[in-house]
Amino acid sequence: MDTLALKYKKLLGILAETDGAVIAFSGGVDSTLLLHTAKEALDHKAIAASIATPYVPRWEQGEAKKFARQLGVKHVVVEMDFPEELRMNPPLHCYTCKKILFSKLLEVAGEHGFKHVLEGTNIDDLSDYRPGIKALRELDIRSPFVEAELSKQDIRELSRRFELPTWDKPSFACLLSRMPVDVEVTDEALQQVEQAEVFLMQIGFPAVRVRHHGEVARIEVPADRIQDFVNANEIHDINNKLKEFGYKHVTLDLGGYKMGSLNKK
């Protein structure tokens, strides 16, 4: 048995010991493997729960619903209005958001008679700038991948072995990460960003961020795709398409994609 198989066996044991849990499910790489494993370890005692908010892309919510249905697990979707605490996008919006959302998921767990809410933080996340992890610890939310010492690469490799559709899916974050901090977030801005990113994904850029600076869209793609993007503009008229969504100026960041480039650290 290889090292990764041993880690997976440990993960199964961790999940089985919960005797039932709610899995915070976004439909991303990490939470999809976690839900798949929880289904194997707990069967009907694994429940997927997603929070639907205006700053979670609708396409991602749709993918989460589809996968939960395919896996045959119960899926609870909690509809939530935009929290006023996040309207001005404070520097620690991730902490505040996690505190609000996971408090809701704890309520879902209680309603189903479960003690545990599980989420997909992995050991690589611990060395990154992740203020939301503090909120998870304060709420006693468990992170089984951390407990089993699984890295992001481990998660992708296991997902590939299990033929999960997300094994090579780019990482995503909520739409608040596209907005400057300490600036009011409007529903219109969220809609603009989502429309722009969906369009860019559809024309061949799955790993893309549209950073919203009022009338300006600052687009980030991986550095090795910048020339592809310039070429794509000639074919798909990206500049004018994004202007149709409400932007007056469309720019490409020559530094390439950088995680959390709008964070104040």
> What pLDDT, on the 0 to 100 scale, is given for residue 113?
96
**Neighbour-count burial for 89-110, b at 16+ CB within 10 Å, e otherwise:** bbebbbbbbbbbbbeebbebbe
What confidence category does residue 265 fall into, taking pLDDT thresholds of 50, 70 and 90?
very low
**pLDDT of the residue at 243:** 98
Query: What confidence score (pLDDT) does residue 71 get?
Result: 93
Alpha-carbon gap, residue 154 to 202, rounded angstroms: 28
Please provide the average confidence, as pLDDT, over all residues in the chain.
95
Higher pLDDT, 130 or 253: 253
Q: Model confidence at 87, in pLDDT bands (50, 70, 90)?
A: very high
Of all residues in the chain, the percent with pLDDT exceeding 70 is 97
Q: Is the pLDDT of residue 69 over 50?
A: yes
Model confidence pLDDT, tens digit, residues 12-27: 999 999 999 999 999 9
Mean of pLDDT values over 62-88? 95
Whole-number pLDDT of residue 130: 86
**pLDDT per residue as tens digits for the range 24-50:** 999 999 999 999 999 999 999 999 999
Query: Which residues make beta-bridge pairs with 74?
Result: 47
pLDDT at 259: 73
How far is Cα 95 from Cα 136, in angstroms, rounded to an integer? Answer: 9
In the chain, where the domains are located: 3-161, 186-252
Rounded to an integer, what distance in angstroms lies between the CA atom of residue 12 and that of residue 252? 44
Percent of the chain scored above 90 by pLDDT?
94
Confidence (pLDDT) at 64: 94
pLDDT tens for 183-239 read: 999 999 999 999 999 999 999 999 999 999 999 999 999 999 999 999 999 999 999
Residues 116-121 have a mean pLDDT of 98
The yes-or-no answer to whether 3-161 and 186-252 have a common fold is: no
The answer to whether residue 262 scores a pLDDT higher than 80 is no
Task: Give yes or no for residue 260 having a pLDDT over 80.
Answer: no
Q: Which residues face 210 on adjacent strands?
A: 219
Taking CA atoms, 123 is separated from 2, 129, 152, 156, in Å, by 19, 13, 8, 13
Task: Place domain 3-161 in its CATH homologous superfamily.
Answer: HUPs (3.40.50.620)
DSSP strand pairing (216-220 vs 209-213)? antiparallel
Confidence class of residue 129 from pLDDT cuts 50, 70 and 90? confident
pLDDT of 26: 95
Q: Which fold has domain 186-252?
A: GMP Synthetase; Chain A, domain 3 (3.30.300)
